[in-house]
Amino acid sequence: MRERLFITTMLLPSMVLLALFYGYPIFDNLRISFTDLSLLGMKKGGNWIGLANYRELFRSGDLGHILFNTFIWLTATSVLLRLLIGLGIALLLNTRALKMLRLASIARFALLIPWATPPIVAVVIWRFLLERNGFVNEALMGLGIVHQPIAFLADMRTVWPSIMAIMLWNTVPLIALSLLSSLQTVPEEYYEAAELDGATNWQMFRFVTLPFLMPALLVLGLMSVFWSFNNFVYVWLATGAGPGTFTNVLATEVYLKAFVDFRLGYSSAIGMVMAAVMGAFGILYLRLVARRQLEETL
Amino acid sequence: MLRLLAAGLIASAAMIGAVRIASADPVTITFRFNDTEEEVRGAIDEFQKENPDIKVELQRIGWKDARNQFLREAAVGEGPDVAHVAQVWVTEMGDAGATLALDDLIQKDPPPNGFADFAAQDLAKGKDGHIYGLPWTTDTWAMVYRTDLLKEAGVEDLPATWEDLRKDSEAVHKKTGKAGFGFPAGSSASGAMWFLANFYWWSHGKELIVQKPDGSYAIGLQPEDVVEAMNYYKQFMDGGDNPQSNLAASDAHDPAIMQALVTGDQAMAAMPPNTYKEVLKAYADANPDKPVPFASGPFPHQDNTKSSMIGGRMLVINANSKHPDEAWKFVKFMASQAVFADYYRTQFPAQTSLLKQIDFGAPLKGFAEQFPYARTWGAYASGPVPIGTLWNATQRAFGKALSGQVSTEDAARELLAEIGKQMP
Q: Would the CB atoms of A244 and B246 count as touching at under 8 Å? A: no
Instruction: Please tell me the distance from the alpha carbon of residue B412 to that of residue B396, in angstroms, as a whole number.
Output: 10
Cβ–Cβ gap A244/B414 under 8 Å:
no
Report the candidate in A174, A175, A168 with the shortest Cα–Cα distance to residue A217. A175
Q: Do A261 and B386 touch (CB under 8 A)?
A: yes
Mean pLDDT of B121-147: 94
Residues of B in Cβ contact (< 8 Å) with A244: 187, 396-397, 399-403, 405-406, 411
Is some CB atom of chain A closer than 8 A to the CB atom of B68? Answer: yes
**pLDDT > 90: percent of chain A:** 70
Within this chain, do residues B249 and B344 fall inside the same structural domain, yes or no? no
Q: For residue B99, which of B128, B119, B121, B120 has the smallest C-alpha distance?
A: B128
pLDDT beyond 60 at A169:
yes
Would you tell me the crossing angle of helices A210-229 and A264-285 to the nearest 10 degrees?
A: 170
Q: Which residues of B touch A154 (CB under 8 A)?
A: 186, 244-248, 403
A40 interaction partners in chain B (CB closer than 8 Å): 71, 92, 95-96, 386
Report if residue B358 sits inside a domain: no
Q: Which of A44-58, B7-21, B68-82, B192-206 has the lowest mean pLDDT?
A: B7-21
Cβ atoms of B358 and B119 closer than 8 Å: no
Short-list B47, B6, B5, CA closest to B28 = B47
In A, minimum Cα distance to B177 occurs at A148
List the single best residue of B65, B254, B320, B396 to mutate versus A (max A Cβ within 10 A).
B396
Three-state SS at B143: strand
| A-chain residue closest to B68, CA distance | A259
Closest to B317 (Cα-Cα) out of B108, B122, B99: B99
pLDDT computed for residue B24 by the predictor: 62
Which range, of A260-274, A284-298, B276-290, averages the lowest pLDDT? Answer: A284-298
Q: Give me the residue spans of the domains in chain A.
A: 64-297
- Point out the residue among A43, A156, A262 whose CB comes nearest to the CB of B404: A156
pLDDT, chain B, mean: 91
Q: B223 versus A94: which is more confidently predicted?
A: B223
In chain B, the residue whose alpha carbon lies closest to the alpha carbon of A130 is: B245
pLDDT at position B21 is: 47
The pTM of this model reads: 0.85
What would you report as the CA-atom Rg of chain A, rounded to the nearest whole angstrom?
A: 24
> Looking at the 3D structure of chain B, how many domains does it have?
2
Q: Is B173 on the interface with A (CB under 8 A)?
A: no
Q: Are residues B334 and B282 in the same domain?
A: no
Burial of A62 (0-12, 13-18, 19+ CB in 10 A): middle
- Burial code of A110-147, b = ≥16 C-beta within 10 A, e = fewer? ebeebbebebeebbeebbebbbbebebbeeeeeeeeee
Check pLDDT > 50 for residue A75. yes
CATH number assigned to the domain comprising residue B213: 3.40.190.10
State the smallest CA–CA distance between residue A153 and chain B in angstroms.
Answer: 6
Is the same domain home to B245 and B188?
yes
How far apart, in Å, are the Cα atoms of B21 and each of B17, B18, B24, B47, B56? 6, 5, 5, 21, 20
Choose from A21-25, A90-94, B154-158 the range with maximum mean pLDDT: B154-158
Note whether A149 contacts B187, CB cutoff 8 Å: no
Asked if residue B9 is part of any domain, the answer here is: no
Percent of chain B with pLDDT over 70: 94
Residues B177 and B274 in one domain: yes
Decide if A219 contacts A286 (C-beta within 8 A): no
ipTM of the complex: 0.80
Q: Could you tell me if residue B188 is inside a domain?
A: yes
In terms of domains, do B271 and B134 share one?
Answer: no
Dmax of chain A from CA atoms? Answer: 77
- Suggest the residue from A60, A120, A259 to mutate for an interface test with chain B (most B CBs closer than 10 A): A259
A151 lies within 8 A of chain B by CB: yes
Taking only Cα atoms into account, the Rg of chain B, rounded to an integer number of angstroms, comes to: 25
Q: Tens digits of per-residue pLDDT, B43-77?
A: 999 999 999 999 999 999 988 889 999 999 999 99
State how far the Cα of A72 lies from the Cα of A66, in Å rounded to an integer: 10
Q: What is the predicted pLDDT for the residue at B23?
A: 52
Q: Compare CB distances from A261 to B245, B389, B397 and report the shortest one's residue.
A: B389
Within a domain: B112: yes
Report the pLDDT value the prediction gives residue B378, as an integer from 0 to 100: 86
A242/B186 Cβ within 8 A? yes
E strand spans, A201-289: none
Return the H-helix or E-strand segment holding B266.
Answer: strand B266-271
Claim to verify: residue B216 and residue B288 sit in the same structural domain? yes
Least confident range from B236-240, B250-254, B356-360: namely B356-360
Same domain, B134 and B180: no
Mean pLDDT of the A4-18 span:
91
Question: What's the mean pLDDT in B245-272?
Answer: 92
Q: Is the pLDDT of residue B230 over 90?
A: yes
B400 touches chain A (CB under 8 A): yes
Using CB atoms, pick whichever of B96, B405, B414 lies closest to residue A243. Answer: B405
A38/chain B closest Cα distance in angstroms: 10
Instruction: Compute the nearest-CA separation of B87 from chain A (Å).
Output: 16
- With residue B135 as reference, give the H or E element that holds it: strand B134-138
Residue B2 lies in a domain: no
**Torsion of Cα atoms, B47 then B49 then B53 then B58, to 10°:** 50
Cα separation, B303 vs B97, in Å, equals 40
Q: Taking CB atoms and an 8 Å limit, are A261 and B97 in contact across chains?
A: no
pLDDT value at residue A282:
86
Both B399 and B304 in one domain: the answer is yes
Closest CA in chain B for residue A134: B256
Specify the range with the lowest mean pLDDT, choosing from B237-241, B268-272, B357-361: B357-361
Say whether residue B188 is in contact with chain A using an 8 A CB cutoff.
Answer: yes
Domain residues for the domain of B63 are 26-139+311-350
**Statement: residue A268 has pLDDT above 80:** yes
Last residue of a domain, one of B324, B350, B376: B350
Tell me whether residues B389 and A154 touch, CB distance under 8 A.
no
- How many interchain CB pairs under 8 A, A with B? 111
- Please tell me whether residues B191 and B292 are part of one structural domain: yes
Shortest CB distance from A256 goes to which of B189, B246, B259?
B189
pLDDT band at B15 (very low <50, low <70, confident <90, very high): low
The pLDDT value given to residue B6: 56
* Distance set, CA A166 to CA A75, A125, A151, A233 (Å): 14, 9, 15, 11
Domain A64-297 has CATH 1.10.3720.10: yes
Mutate to test the interface with B, among A40, A123, A247 (most CBs of B within 10 A): A40
Average pLDDT score over residue span B263-291: 94
Pick from B95, B97, B256: which is nearest to A132 by CB?
A: B256
* Banded pLDDT at B308 (limits 50, 70, 90): very high
Share of chain B above pLDDT 90, in %: 72
Are B247 and A155 a contacting pair at CB < 8 A? yes
Q: What pLDDT, on a 0 to 100 scale, did the predictor assign at position B165?
A: 98
CB contacts, 8 Å: B98 with chain A: 43
Give me chain A's average pLDDT, please. 91
Residue A98 has pLDDT above 70, yes or no: yes
Among A36, A39, A44, A138, the residue to mutate for chain B (most B Cβ within 10 A): A39
Q: How far is B35 from chain A (nearest CA, A)?
A: 20
- Is there a single domain that holds both residue B296 and residue B384? yes
Residue B414 contacts A where some CB pair is shorter than 8 Å: yes
Residues 6+ apart with CB under 8 A from B323: B27, B29, B81
**Whether B238 and B290 share a structural domain:** yes
Q: Between residues B1 and A201, which one has the greater pLDDT? A: A201
Select from A42, A240, A259 the Cβ nearest to the Cβ of B188.
A240
A146 touches B at CB < 8 Å? no
> Best of B187, B193, B414, B423 to disrupt the A interface by mutation (most A CBs within 10 Å)?
B187
In a domain, B385, yes or no: yes
